[in-house]
A and B are shown apart, each in its own frame.
Chain A
Amino acid sequence: MKPRLDMNKIARGLGAERRGQVPVTSGYFGAMQLLADVEARFRVPAGGGRATDPDWTERRLVPLAPRTLKRLEAITKGVKARCGLSVEPMQLAAVLLEKTTEQLSDDEVNDLVRNSGRRGSEESPAIAWSGRRLRPGKPAGKVRGNRTVADLVIENRK
């Protein structure tokens, strides 16, 4: 099992900034791969100043459609085959997200807001329900014994 380290405590103890994760493997080739990765991602310009790699310190769960993930995987595979550069699909997603948000103009943002229709600020922007009565769904499985699915979920949580 991977040991859990308190990275914030380590950063404080060192007087260092956390910059991000890198794949670490042992041995000479692991060291060289790590070196290439770090040089590509975290190097500082010779004149000092900001490192060329963006500070990806924030982590969020991003919902994706399976086809989007597949497309990201296909692109990263292609990148690896063509240039030998190993990029994770979600790293690519982060780069694309950054690029898109940087390029998005105020007008385009306004268009997006306008196109979101009648949804007010109180309503969730993710789901719009017409108010139509929903049909009861068919249960996917049958629970043995007297307990309900809800009981099992609560028991699992405990």
Chain B
Amino acid sequence: MAKRHKRPVRRRSALKGGRKRILVVLFVPSVERDGTTPIDQDHWVDAALEMFGRVFGGATAYPKAKGIWRDDERNGALLKDEPVVVHCYTTPADIEDSGHLAELGRFCRTMGRDARQGEVGLVIGDEYFAIREFT
């Protein structure tokens, strides 16, 4: 008797379609670009979560991290900051959507301008994007 081979069942890849697999990370600073004047960080974290929720369907803000760095351009002055990192998972289609990108960019520019930043940092996928023009 001929051996019957089971035909492999073709399963739909779990990663195909709308599965969220692109990580977007936004850094919400704690101080202005002078390194000393505190900003209303809670407000910006809430605003970022609200924006990510509305545009991409959700986000998580991690507790503050404490950081320090030496500013060699100012005689090695030590500057402390406590940024909050906001994580948002989305789909490739959603992150490449021009409307979504425009909204995300608008939020970053508003935060950069109102919180007097030198730069607003975003990581999308595994690439770092810097927004420095806030007008």
Evaluate contact between A31 and B25: CB separation under 8 angstroms: yes
B47: Cβ under 8 A from any A Cβ: no
Query: Would you call B96 and A44 a contact (CB within 8 A)?
Result: no
Q: Residues of B contacting A39 with CB < 8 Å?
A: 67, 69, 83
Min Cβ gap B103→A in Å is: 10
**Secondary structure of the B contact surface, majority rule:** mixed
B128 touches A20 (CB 8 A): yes
Among residues 9 to 32 in chain A, which have CB atoms less than 8 Å away from a CB atom of chain B?
9-11, 13-24, 26, 28, 31-32
Q: Which residues of A contact B108 (CB under 8 A)?
A: 14, 16
Contact of A15 among B127, B128, B133 (CB under 8 A): B133
Known interface pairs A15-B105, A28-B62, A44-B118; A7-B125 also in contact (CB < 8 Å): yes
Are A5 and B119 in contact, with the CB atoms below 8 A? no
Which one of B23, B35, B101 contacts A14 once the chains associate, using CB atoms below 8 Å?
B101
User: How far apart sit A26 and B92, CA to CA, in the bound complex (Å)?
Assistant: 17
**Complex contact A10–B35 (CB within 8 A):** no
Interface size class, chain B: 35 or more
User: Any chain B CB within 8 A of the CB of A139?
Assistant: no
Q: Which of A6, A14, A51 contacts B129, CB < 8 Å?
A: A14
Whether the pair A7, B71 counts as a contact (CB closer than 8 A) is no
In the bound complex, CA of A7 to CA of B92 (Å): 11
CB distance from B54 to the nearest CB of A (A): 17
Is there contact, CB below 8 Å, between B129 and A5? no
Distance (whole angstroms) from the CB of A9 to the closest CB of chain B: 6
| Nearest CB in chain A to that of B100: its residue | A13
Chain B residues whose C-beta falls within 8 Å of the C-beta of A9 in the assembled complex: 96
A35:B125 contact, CB within 8 angstroms? no
List the B side residues contacting A41 at CB < 8 Å.
128
CB pair B85–A35 under 8 Å, yes or no, is yes
> Does the CB pair B125–A34 fall under 8 Å?
no
CA distance A46 to B73 in the complex (A): 9
Nearest-neighbor residue (CB-CB) of B129 within chain A: A16
For B123, give its contact among A5, A24, A43, A47 (CB under 8 Å).
A24
Give A9 to B69 CA distance when docked, in angstroms: 32
Contacts of B65 in A (CB 8 A): 31-32, 35
- A sample of 22 inter-chain contacts (CB < 8 A) reads A3-B21, A3-B92, A5-B92, A5-B96, A14-B101, A15-B131, A19-B128, A19-B129, A19-B130, A24-B25, A24-B126, A28-B63, A35-B27, A35-B85, A38-B123, A39-B83, A45-B71, A45-B72, A45-B73, A46-B33, A47-B73, A48-B118
Chain B residues engaging chain A, CB cutoff 8 angstroms: 15, 21-23, 25, 27, 33-35, 62-63, 65, 67, 69, 71-74, 77, 79, 83, 85, 87, 92, 95-96, 98, 101-102, 104-105, 108-109, 118-119, 121-133
